[in-house]
Amino acid sequence: MFYTNREFVILNAINGRTSNLNLSILKTIKPLLRDALAEWLFLSEISNPDKRAKGKLTVVTFHRVLPENLRQQYPYPGISVTPEELRWCCGFFNTYFSVGPLTSIYERWLNGELPEKPFLAITFDDGQLDNFQYGLPILDEFDFKATFYIPASNIDEEIILWHDQIGYCALAARNNGEKAMQKTLELAQTYGVPVKPTSAFENHIIQHSKRISPEKRKQFIEALEHMLKTSPPEWGRLMTWDEIRLMHQQGHEIGSHSMTHSLMPQCKDKELEYETIESKRRLEEELNTEIASFCYPNGNCDARSENAVRIAGYTNAVTTQWGKNQPWQPHLQLKRCDVNIFNNQNRKQQLSAARFSLRLSGLQPGL
């Protein structure tokens, strides 16, 4: 069939309108359906933790606890909760779980203890000051004890983690205008980090930076900080040994998050020994207690890394592999559920027990 130009234009316009209409209907309906499904699965106890988590070990991961104004100044807001959101999460855990630090909960669970509410361990990665400043008072409200994973060398040297160093630089490049962004992209290119100025620039630069060698990454960070004349904000620092000691004295578990937060599969054998054995030694020296738990930086765990953790003498180790643990899960590859608060909100952007339960249930973590 042939159309005149005029007919063709009209048909295109109608088709365009129809697809736009379909798109906007879909945009309205999808959150409604998503919330309704989550509510139904929750109320019918299909996703309810009482059923889904019974007899299993759930381990949740938090990274940062920042008030809203600081979260907006942090390059990766998705890995931060506000104190109010943490309070909401703790209330949810209190209703459905028996909560505690990982190693003690894990041992009780392995010994066959079956509490009325299933076990859940709360973990915090990276040793950020905000965990102490904003997280601890909320945990105290519920009398919860958690596990905090500490990168020992970063605490010794009082330097923030390399992914945060890059993140603050990326944010500065974005905020300093087009010229700074262009220069950053050119510099990144020379270090083998081919990024584009997209809306997810901060995340892309990190993902690409993980692919270059640790030595090159270090040089890249120094060059970036020098060029952008940027330094991390005071609120962005890590905890001190005194703050970590205080948490330990209050009954929280301290675990190792390596020495330098290196990506372990990239490490040579000697470096693996350093990251696992030396971090255990440093933490034990500072806290005068045995360190039992290890957390693989960035969740990167391969056979060599696992073996290094075993040789160092840790009794359990956590990954970023999503899910709850069954008793047969290897003790140096425990699964966790990372809490991204934006995935636990309903269509009105309110935190929802039904949505959180659905994510924790593993039925559809990406929903």
User: What residues line the site for Zn ion (CB under 5 A)?
Assistant: 125-126
- Strand stretches in the chain, DSSP E: 57-62, 64-65, 80-81, 98-100, 119-125, 147-150, 253-256, 293-295, 316-322, 334-338
Q: CB of 296: closest distance to Zn ion in angstroms?
A: 9
Q: CB of 102: closest distance to Zn ion in angstroms?
A: 15
> What are the φ and ψ backbone dihedral angles of 231, each rounded to 5 degrees?
-140, 150
Q: CB of 306: closest distance to Zn ion in angstroms?
A: 17
What whole-number distance in Å separates Cα of residue 20 and Cα of residue 25?
9
The three-state secondary structure class of 296 is: coil
Count of alpha carbons within 13 angstroms of residue 76, beta-carbon side: 20
Q: CB of 82: closest distance to Zn ion in angstroms?
A: 20
β-strand partners of 89? none
Residue number with CB closer to Zn ion (301 or 353): 301
Q: What is the CA radius of gyration of the chain?
A: 23
What whole-number distance in Å separates Cα of residue 5 and Cα of residue 127?
65
Residue number with CB closer to Zn ion (125 or 253): 125
Residue number with CB closer to Zn ion (125 or 306): 125
Q: CB of 261: closest distance to Zn ion in angstroms?
A: 6
Residue number with CB closer to Zn ion (62 or 92): 62
What whole-number distance in Å separates Cα of residue 283 and Cα of residue 223?
31
Residue number with CB closer to Zn ion (39 or 125): 125
- Which residues fall within 8 angstroms of residue 272, CB to CB, at 6 or more apart? 264, 304, 305, 308
Residue number with CB closer to Zn ion (125 or 338): 125
Other CB atoms within a 10 A radius of the CB of residue 110 amount to 12
Q: CB of 321: closest distance to Zn ion in angstroms?
A: 15
Residue number with CB closer to Zn ion (61 or 352): 61
Q: CB of 257: closest distance to Zn ion in angstroms?
A: 6
Q: CB of 3: closest distance to Zn ion in angstroms?
A: 59
Q: CB of 163: closest distance to Zn ion in angstroms?
A: 8
> Quick one: tokens of 134?
């904003």
Angle (CA) 217-333-320 rounded to 5° is 50
Residue number with CB closer to Zn ion (134 or 294): 294
Q: Residue number with the shortest CB distance to Zn ion?
A: 125
Amino acid residing at 17: R
Q: Using the Cα atoms of residue 224, residue 228, residue 229 and residue 232 in order, give the sign of their dihedral.
A: negative
- Which residues fall within 8 angstroms of residue 364, CB to CB, at 6 or more apart? 358
Q: CB of 156: closest distance to Zn ion in angstroms?
A: 17
Closest CA to 146 of 161, 162, 127: 127
Residue number with CB closer to Zn ion (291 or 354): 291
Residue number with CB closer to Zn ion (126 or 130): 126
Residue linked to tokens 């042939």: 2
CA-CA-CA-CA dihedral for 293, 297, 302, 305, to nearest 10: -60
DSSP-assigned states of every residue in 330-341? -TTSEEEEE--G
